[in-house]
C-alpha cells in the first residue's frame, strides 16, 4: 500500500437512506468534487457499484468512512454492512481506509464551537462557499434529515482525517 500524504486525493463517503453523499478532496482546502448519489433496488449493491466508479475515476489514496459501531453512531444494520463492504472494496484496490466515530468528528470541530451536525455543516459552508447553497435548513424534531446533509457529513469526515 502507498504511504498517505495530506496533499493527496481523499474520498470520503457518508451512506444515507437514499444512497450516499461523497466528497473528493486534495488536501484540507481543495474540494475536487462532491454530491449525493441516489440508488434504487438493492441499495448496498448499487452503492458499491457507484463507489467503485468514483474510485476508478478519482483514484483516491485514502477512503474515509464513519465508524458505524463507534461512540455516537446510530447507523442501521444495512448501512453498517455497507460500510464494511466499502472498506473491503478499498482494500481490494489497495487503498487505505480510515474510520471516525461521530464523537471523534464532533471533537475535531469543537475548537470552532461546532458541536451538532448542523453547526458543523454551517462551519463547513463558511469554509467552502461553494457548499453554502447546498446547506439544508435547520431540521425540526419531526423532520427527516435532508439528504444534502450527507455531503456535509462526508466533508466533515475528510477534514477530521486531514486536520487531525
pLDDT digits (tens, 9 = 90+) for 71-117: 777 777 888 899 999 999 999 999 999 999 988 999 999 888 888 88
**Does residue 3 lie in a domain region?**
no
Q: Quick one: pLDDT at residue 45?
A: 95
Q: Residue 88: enclosing H or E segment and its boundaries? A: helix 77-92
Domain containing 153 — which CATH number? 3.30.420.10
**Does residue 1 lie in a domain region?**
no
Q: Name the pLDDT band for 2 (thresholds 50, 70, 90).
A: very low
The C-alpha R_g of the chain, in whole angstroms, comes to 15
Ordered DSSP codes for 103-143: HHHHHHHGGGT--SHHHHHHHHHHH-GGGGGGPPPPPPTTS
Q: Which residue range(s) make up the domain with 130? A: 9-162
Number of independent structural domains in the chain? 1
**Does residue 18 lie in a domain region?**
yes
**Does residue 153 lie in a domain region?**
yes
Number of neighbouring beta carbons within 10 Å of residue 29: 10
Amino acid at each position: 500500500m502507498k504511504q498517505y500524504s495530506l496533499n493527496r486525493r481523499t474520498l470520503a463517503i457518508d451512506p444515507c437512506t437514499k444512497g450516499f453523499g461523497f466528497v473528493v478532496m486534495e488536501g484540507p482546502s481543495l474540494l475536487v468534487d462532491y454530491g449525493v448519489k441516489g440508488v434504487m433496488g438493492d441499495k448496498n449493491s448499487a452503492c458499491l457499484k457507484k463507489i467503485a466508479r468514483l474510485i476508478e475515476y478519482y483514484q483516491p489514496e485514502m477512503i474515509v468512512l464513519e465508524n458505524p459501531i463507534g461512540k455516537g453512531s446510530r447507523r442501521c444494520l444495512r448501512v453498517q454492512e455497507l460500510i464494511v463492504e466499502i472498506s473491503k472494496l478499498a482494500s481490494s484496490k489497495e487503498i487505505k481506509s480510515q474510520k471516525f466515530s461521530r464523537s471523534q468528528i464532533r471533537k475535531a470541530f469543537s475548537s470552532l464551537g461546532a458541536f451538532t451536525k448542523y453547526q458543523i455543516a454551517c462551519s463547513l459552508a463558511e469554509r467552502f462557499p461553494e457548499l453554502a447553497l447546498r446547506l439544508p435548513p435547520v431540521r425540526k424534531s419531526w423532520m427527516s434529515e435532508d439528504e444534502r446533509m450527507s455531503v456535509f457529513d462526508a466533508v466533515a469526515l475528510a477534514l477530521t482525517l486531514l486536520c487531525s
